[in-house]
Chains A and B, each alone.
Chain A
Amino acid sequence: MGSTLAQKVWAGHTVRRGGSGGDDLLYVDLHLLHEVNTPRAFDGLRAAGRTVRRPDLTVGTEGHNVPTISLNGLFDDPAGRRQAAQLRDNCDAFGIPVHRRGDDGHGIVHVIGPEQGLVRPGMTVVCCDSHTTTLGAFGALAFGIGTSQVEHVLATQTLWTGRPGDMAVTVTGTLPAGATAKDLVMTLIARIGTGGGQGHIIEYRGEAVDALSMEGRMTLCNMSVEAGSKAGVVGPDETTFAYLRTRPGMPEGAEWDAEVAYWKSLRTDPDAVFDREVVLDASTIRPYVSWGTNPAQSVPVDARVPGPDEFDSPEERAAAERALAYMDLRPGRRLQDVGIDTVFVGSCTNGRIEDLRAAAEVLRGRRVADGVRMLVVPGSAAMHRQAVDEGLDKVFTGAGADFRPIAGCSMCCGLNEDRMKAGQRAVSTSNRNFEGRQGKRARTHIASPAVAAASAVTGRITAPADLGDGRS
């Protein structure tokens, strides 16, 4: 019997097998750090008199707390400022490279890794952030860890972890025009639930996945964690290799060819067996939007808000009731009639160039509606530069959106000054519509960049196809 991609990568990184009921000790090829969840890991390291085993396999970046309004923008939160300073100090003290706000290589942790050629097929990657699953797009095994595990990886470059099962998500057919990777993954989560991938690594495959760009695959793998899965992976193929070829630090000539041959060998064998399989028909996927307070509570943009009685289990019914109350929505209301006052384009889910282009394409020749604040925050300094080179900044500012010069998580996680106010309602390209995620008592509808931009134009939840010809 053959092996899956995940099984191959796992086996190739097992330093010690756990035996029955035990975790395996995995070697970590790349350890990414950010400012929020790491200070205590370094404190622990110091208290025990330990050092960082492989600073050359570790890199830090400040993304969560940093103001994105300007290079010298002030932290509105002294604790956030302290954490950013702590990351710099800790990395400097232990010889770990760190990207500071304003550096060429600065950005959201999951955006800069691939840009800098640090994430390649077959690697193991961990970071103190649940959306590390993003990096599985490269055929790497990448997942989030907590602060104690960060300390463990810093000290040992390894991690004890239980071997998850293998789940295939096969997406047949072709995505229709207007449907994106975001809509695909939201459709999946709505179908399998927030625990649907629990205990598994999801491998995304099939014609529609093969057709996705690396940016699209990153969006897809990013939200694997919202389905509860340990990680998401896509088998490395020509799209992967073409992306990597343009990255810094790649081998050349015969060495490149040897790497590509190795990467190809990692693909799931035809006779490999998955523990579970879910099949989606891409041709049925439409622009999606969330109505509730977890990512599984999502429907197509042209649908109506569901009622609690439409759910099977008492638990889901109770969750729907709570969500409707929090979101101030009535069952049966058309989502397209729901007014919004805030639009956020950015985050590790949808803060890359393809996402910025998609939002700009909708906005070109149109204006953000009166009373709507639209915030566009690039995922990295490189994304910002590229957006400016392509003139997207002018499209955003010309339409009345606030295009930020500094990269960061900003409104996705409510840790910098871009928090929403109580009662405000956003369409957001981020990953979580949890209660209070973007600000206390603020309401979040997650969607793709194109839906976010179209909603900014109308001031209601809107799919781009419904905008009509009203470009100036």
Chain B
Amino acid sequence: MNPFTVHVGTALPLRRGNVDTDQIIPARFVPYFQLTGQGNGLFADWRDDPAFATNQPQFQGATILVAGNEFGTGSSRESAVWALQKAGFLVVLAPRFGDIFRENALMRGLLPVRLPALAIELLWSLTEADPTLPVTVDLETQQVRFADRTEAFEIPEAARRRLLDGTDTIGDTLRHEADITLHERARRPLLPRTRSAV
């Protein structure tokens, strides 16, 4: 995973709440998703509408998605995160995220940042008025800065460290293997197994 420290980019306003992962990438695109090459099912059914934000030329090149409440609810498909990343997004700003989407994003290095609804509203208005408005997302100081505003945000410290360092989470966890083994030995003996022990 690439480290994430400070990012300055432009924003794409997505004036919708409850954007579930079936909208981010409809199911029929999920089995086909490839990280490289052509094609991306991102917002596929909404992109049929020429007025949809991602079709607007002034927002091409945006790296920060600004969305309404409950972004990424629904299905656990991590391809929702992959599709956003493939389209060039590094950050999603929203008042609140679906739990699994947020965890997937943190695992893959797409930064999900919770901002108050008022800040989101302001960003929508400002970026619609000026699509070139630079927005700074600073994971080191945990701030989002735009125009003359500074918005602080919270993120679990362990996740922040992993993102800043670009850590391989599995490798990191395996440093605690002794603890895992200890727990394993103390498990209740009658817990079910799916096959005979290895």
Task: Write out the residue numbers on chain B whose beta carbons fall within 8 Å of the beta carbon of A435.
Answer: 22-23, 45
Within 8 A of A (CB), among B176-198: 176-177, 179-180, 182-184, 187-188, 190-198
Task: Write out the residue numbers on chain B whose beta carbons fall within 8 Å of the beta carbon of A13.
Answer: 183
Task: Give 28 A-B contacts (CB < 8 Å), ordered by A residue.
Answer: A15-B180, A16-B179, A21-B156, A27-B180, A29-B187, A36-B31, A37-B79, A48-B171, A55-B198, A56-B196, A57-B193, A58-B194, A65-B31, A79-B31, A146-B81, A148-B107, A152-B169, A155-B173, A155-B174, A158-B173, A249-B192, A251-B190, A414-B27, A415-B27, A434-B22, A435-B22, A436-B22, A440-B28
B76, B96, B117, B195 interface centre (most CB from chain A within 10 Å): B76
Point out the residue from B15, B73, B171 that lies within 8 Å of A228, measured CB to CB.
Answer: B73
Interface of A is mostly: loop
Contact across chains for A437 and B98 when beta carbons are under 8 A apart: no
Task: Write out the residue numbers on chain B whose beta carbons fall within 8 Å of the beta carbon of A286.
Answer: none
Q: Report the minimum CB–CB distance from B76 to chain A (whole Å).
A: 4
B: contact size bracket: 35 or more
Point out the residue from B18, B180, B183, B195 that lies within 8 Å of A97, measured CB to CB.
Answer: B195
Q: Please, how many angstroms separate the alpha-carbon atoms of A409 and B88 in the complex?
A: 32
The verdict on B103 contacting chain A, using a C-beta distance below 8 Å, is yes
Q: Please, how many angstroms separate the alpha-carbon atoms of A230 and B117 in the complex?
A: 22
The verdict on B26 contacting chain A, using a C-beta distance below 8 Å, is yes
The verdict on B129 contacting chain A, using a C-beta distance below 8 Å, is no
Contact across chains for A23 and B27 when beta carbons are under 8 A apart: no
Point out the residue from B18, B30, B173, B190 that lies within 8 Å of A152, measured CB to CB.
Answer: B173
Q: Please, how many angstroms separate the alpha-carbon atoms of A156 and B40 in the complex?
A: 32
Task: Write out the residue numbers on chain B whose beta carbons fall within 8 Å of the beta carbon of A165.
Answer: none
Task: Write out the residue numbers on chain A whose beta carbons fall within 8 Å of the beta carbon of B174.
Answer: 155-156
Task: Write out the residue numbers on chain A whose beta carbons fall within 8 Å of the beta carbon of B70.
Answer: 194-195, 198, 228
B32, B78, B194 interface centre (most CB from chain A within 10 Å): B194
For A35, the closest partner residue in chain B by CB is: B31
Known: A21-B157, A415-B31, A432-B74. Is A27-B23 also a contact (CB below 8 A)?
Answer: no
Pick the 9 closest A-B CB pairs, nearest first. Answer: A146-B104, A79-B31, A148-B107, A21-B157, A146-B78, A147-B78, A22-B158, A59-B194, A144-B76
Point out the residue from B15, B96, B158, B192 that lies within 8 Å of A120, measured CB to CB.
Answer: B192
Contact across chains for A80 and B31 when beta carbons are under 8 A apart: yes
Contact across chains for A130 and B100 when beta carbons are under 8 A apart: yes
Contact across chains for A149 and B104 when beta carbons are under 8 A apart: yes
Q: Interface-forming stretch among A314-322, A354-362, A388-396?
A: A314-322
Contact across chains for B96 and A195 when beta carbons are under 8 A apart: yes
The verdict on A309 contacting chain B, using a C-beta distance below 8 Å, is no
Task: Write out the residue numbers on chain A whose beta carbons fall within 8 Å of the beta carbon of B96.
Answer: 195, 198
Contact across chains for A55 and B195 when beta carbons are under 8 A apart: yes
Task: Write out the residue numbers on chain B whose beta carbons fall within 8 Å of the beta carbon of A294.
Answer: 18, 20, 73
19 more A-B residue pairs beyond the given contacts A27-B184, A434-B22, with a C-beta to C-beta distance below 8 A: A27-B180, A27-B183, A37-B76, A40-B78, A56-B198, A59-B194, A83-B31, A118-B192, A152-B170, A259-B190, A294-B73, A315-B69, A318-B16, A318-B17, A414-B28, A432-B20, A432-B74, A440-B26, A440-B45
Q: Please, how many angstroms separate the alpha-carbon atoms of A415 and B26 in the complex?
A: 10
Point out the residue from A80, A144, A160 that lies within 8 Å of B100, measured CB to CB.
Answer: A144
CB 8 Å contact bits of B139-178 with A (1 = contact, 0 = none): 0000000000000000011110000000011110110110
Q: Please, how many angstroms separate the alpha-carbon atoms of A249 and B70 in the complex?
A: 41
Contact across chains for A194 and B179 when beta carbons are under 8 A apart: no
Task: Write out the residue numbers on chain A whose beta carbons fall within 8 Å of the beta carbon of B171.
Answer: 48
Q: Please, how many angstroms separate the alpha-carbon atoms of A401 and B107 in the complex?
A: 44
Task: Write out the residue numbers on chain B whose beta carbons fall within 8 Å of the beta carbon of A25.
Answer: 173, 176, 179-180
Q: Please, how many angstroms separate the alpha-carbon atoms of A21 and B160 in the complex?
A: 10
The verdict on A77 contacting chain B, using a C-beta distance below 8 Å, is yes
CB 8 Å contact bits of A77-98 with B (1 = contact, 0 = none): 1011011000000000001110
Q: Please, how many angstroms separate the alpha-carbon atoms of A65 and B32 in the complex?
A: 12
CB 8 Å contact bits of A395-426 with B (1 = contact, 0 = none): 00000000000000000011100010000000
